[in-house]
Amino acid sequence: MAKWEQIEAVNTALPTGMRAIAQMQPVFTQPLAAFTPFHVHELYEPGGLFYGVNQLSKNVLIGDRKKLRNGNGFVLGVTGGGKGMDIKQELMQVYLNTKDDILVIDPQNEYQVIAEYLKETFIDFGAEAGHTVNPLDTDTLSYFPNVKAYITDKTELVLGIFSQILDREITAQDKSLIGRCVNEIYAELQSWKQMEQPPTLSDLYRTMGEQPEPQARQLQLALELFVTGSLDLFNGQTHIQRQKGRNRLTVYGIAGLGQEQAAIGMLIMLEGIRARIASNARKGKATWLYIDEFHNLASQEFSARYLEKIWKEVRKLGGLCTGATQNLADLLQSKVVETMLCNSAYLSLLNQSDIELELLHRTLGISDTLLEYVHNVPPGCGLLKFGDKYIPKDNRLDKESKLYQLFNTNFHEKVEEKRR
C-alpha cells in the first residue's frame, strides 16, 4: 500500500501529528495498541513461565517469579472464575520446565487427579487414611539459632491451633497457660540433640490437666477431640506412607477432615512443609507452595500471624508461596494478611464481585479502568500484577485440549463430556 514510501509511512504512523503520505488506513484501538508500546505494559522474561496473552497487544506474557522482589502472591476470584485452572497451569509448567519441588495443600482433593496423572504423591488425610502428623515434632529444630527460639516458634504454632479450636477469643490467661505447658513438654530439650521421642498432643493434653487453674481444664477439653476423639490423626509420631518415585509434586488432601477441621489441618501441614522447604534450600532447590482456601487460615489472628511468618521465612529459603481464595473480604479482615496482600509482587486477579471491586480499588489503588478487566469476565481472564505492572490477561485454555480436560472441575462440563 505504501510502496516506495515506507519511510514516509513510518513517519506518518509516529505520534507527531504529521501526515507524509496520501493513503490512509483506519485501525481499531486494540490492534493500534500494538504499535504504541508506551500505552501498553508488556511482560517478557526469557526462561519464565507463560501467564496468558496480553488482552491489549495480544503478545504472550512470559514472567519469572523468582526475579521479583517478593515472589509470593495470591490468586483471587469468585467461584467459577478460574482460580484452580490458573494455578494448575503454572504448576504444570513448573513441573515440566524446572527441577523445583511443588507442594499443594488441597482442602477439596481436586489436585488428586493431577498427582495421579503425573504418578506423583497424593496424601489423603481422611479418617481412614492411616496417616499421622505430629505438630509438636522436632524436625525443624536445626533451623533455629537456639532451643529457646525453637520453643517460642512452637508456642506460636500451638496458639494458632487453639485459635482455630476455641469458639472464643484467646485471652491473656490462655496465652500464659499454653506457653507454660509448651515449655514443660519440651523440658528435656536442652541441647541440639533431638529428644528420644518428641512430645505429642497427648503430652500437651496431660500437662494441661496438671495445671491448677480452672481455665486449663477448658483448654484441655477443647483439645480432647484431637487426642481421644475422631481427629486423633494429629496425635502421635509423624507417619506418612509416601509413594515410591521422585516425589517432586506432593499434594496434601484434607477434604476428609471436614470443613470445621480443615483450617487446623492446613496449619499443621504447614509446620511439616517448613522443614521440607528448608531441606530443599540446603540442596539449592526451590519449592513452590500452593495453599487453596487460604481464607480458612487468614480469618484467625494467630493463624494469620503464623502464615505471615512462613511468608517471610520461605522467601529467604527460595520458596514461592501462593494463596488462593474467593473471599477477598475475609482476607482483609486481618491487618496482617492485608499487609501480605499489599506487599505481594505477584497477583492473579480473576472475576470479582461488586464488593471485591470496591475493596481492590481502596486497598490496592487499582483504577476503575483496570477493574473493568475483572468484572463480569470469562473464566481465566483478568488482571496480572507482576512487579509494578498491572496487565490485562487472557489465560483461557482450549476446552478440547488435554490439559483443560485434566484440570477441569466444572461438574456439568464433565458430565457432558462423559455423555459424549
- Grid coordinates representing 67? 526475579
What's the rounded mean pLDDT across residues 29-46?
Answer: 72
pLDDT, tens digit, 9 for 90 and up, residues 85-123:
999 999 999 999 999 999 999 988 899 999 999 999 898
Residue with cell 516458634: 153
Of residues 190 and 84, more confidence is placed in 84
Q: What are 218-277's pLDDT values in tens digits?
A: 999 989 888 887 667 788 888 776 655 568 999 988 888 776 677 788 888 888 888 888
Q: Are strands 249-253 and 101-106 parallel, antiparallel or unpaired?
A: parallel
Confidence grade of residue 279 (pLDDT, cut at 50, 70, 90): confident
- CA 302 → CA 157, 294, 375, distances in Å? 8, 14, 33
Higher pLDDT, 17 or 47: 47
Is the per-residue pLDDT at 33 higher than 70?
no
**Percent of the chain at pLDDT above 70?**
92
Q: Which three cell numbers stand for residue 167?
A: 469458639
- All three cell numbers of 365, joined, read 489503588
User: How far is the C-alpha of 16 from the C-alpha of 396, rounded, in Å?
Assistant: 37
Q: Which of 1-15, 70-84, 384-398 comes out lowest in average pLDDT?
A: 1-15
Complete edge-to-edge strand list for the sheet that includes strand 121-124: 60-63, 49-54, 389-394, 381-386, 346-349, 73-76, 319-325, 287-291, 101-106, 249-253, 121-124
- What distance in Å separates the CA atoms of residue 368 and residue 289, rounded to the nearest whole number? 32
Mean pLDDT of 15-44: 72
63 CB contacts (<8 Å, ≥6 apart)? 43, 45, 48, 49, 51, 384, 386
**What grid cell was written down for 362?**
481502596
Separation of alpha carbons 271 and 234, rounded Å: 12
Instruction: Please tell me the predicted confidence (pLDDT) of residue 175.
Output: 92
Q: DSSP letter string over 182-205?
A: HHHHTTT--SSSPPSS---HHHHH
How do residues 172-216 score in pLDDT, each as one tens digit? 999 999 999 999 999 877 654 556 788 999 999 999 999 999 999
Among 357, 358, 325, smallest CA distance to 344 is for 325
The per-residue pLDDT for 24 is: 73
Return the C-alpha cell found at 58.
Answer: 495480544
Lowest pLDDT segment from 258-267, 317-326, 402-411: 258-267
Looking at every residue in the chain, the average pLDDT score rounds to: 85
Q: Please tell me the distance from the alpha carbon of residue 318 to that of residue 286, in angstroms, as a whole number.
A: 5
**Do 249 and 61 contact (CB within 8 A), yes or no?**
no
Q: Where is pLDDT greater, at 68 or 18? A: 68
Contact 93, 87 (CB under 8 A): no
* Cell numbers describing residue 3: 510502496
Q: Given this model, what pLDDT does residue 304 score?
A: 82
The pLDDT assigned to 37 comes to: 52
Angle of helix 301-316 relative to helix 259-282, nearest 10 degrees, comes to 20
pLDDT of residue 259: 67
Percentage of the residues of the chain whose pLDDT score is greater than 90: 37
| Average pLDDT over every residue of 342-360 | 90
